[in-house]
Amino acid sequence: MGLTLANKITIGRIVLIPVFIAVMLSYSPERAYLLWWALGIYILAEITDIIDGYIARRYYQKTKAGSILDPLADKFLLISALIVMYAQGARFDWAVQFPLWLVVTFVARDVILILGGLLIELKSRPIEIRPNLWGKLTAFLQVVCVVAVFLQFHMAYIIWWLAVAAAVISGLIYMKEGIKVLNDEHA
């Protein structure tokens, strides 16, 4: 099928990740406008996620490459945002900044899911990653968490706890499904 439009948009999102990181690392209180640039890049990247998914479904452009690249792009964007925003928030003592426990929880969940998916691919059979409702809610709440810190929303901690609860629930569901796939292969 070659490189579809949906795949090209996903690759564009991947390219935006180092740009986002570079802008965030260039931030200082004297160049506060860079936070707005970084927020714009982050939101653009998130919008491309919606667009590439829509195009892939609507125009039958689902590919094996897309099924791997799209979730990886999502994970790398989130992990990059969490880590760089945590570092910059601590460095410049932002009023609202990610607590370490939140960063560790989200990063650990995503690393476990990525490694679990790779294990299933290696040990079992190719899998199709299908997000469930809890996974979609988690992704949405994680995006809201990032935006809340960008905007210095003083009640961001409420969103953090909701996102952590959704992340734990969705992570447990995905692990249960992964274990079931591995057990079914050996039955």
Give me the CATH number covering residue 58: 1.20.120.1760
Say what percent of the chain tops pLDDT 90: 79
Are 123 and 186 within 8 A, CB to CB? no
117: pLDDT confidence band, cut at 50, 70 and 90?
Answer: confident
**Is the pLDDT assigned to residue 178 strictly greater than 90?**
no
Are 94 and 149 within 8 A, CB to CB? yes
* Cα–Cα separations (whole angstroms), residue 187 to 124, 178, 181, 184: 12, 14, 10, 5
How far is the C-alpha of 166 from the C-alpha of 170, rounded, in Å?
6
Q: What pLDDT, in 10s, does the model give residues 9-68? A: 999 999 999 999 999 999 999 999 999 999 999 999 999 999 999 999 999 999 988 988
Structure tokens at 159: 């969103």
How far is the C-alpha of 18 from the C-alpha of 41, rounded, in Å?
10
Give the number of domains in the chain.
1
Structural domain boundaries, residue 35? 5-185
Q: Which residues lie below 8 Å from residue 81, measured CB to CB, with a gap of 6+?
A: 20, 42, 146
What pTM was estimated for this model as a whole? 0.92
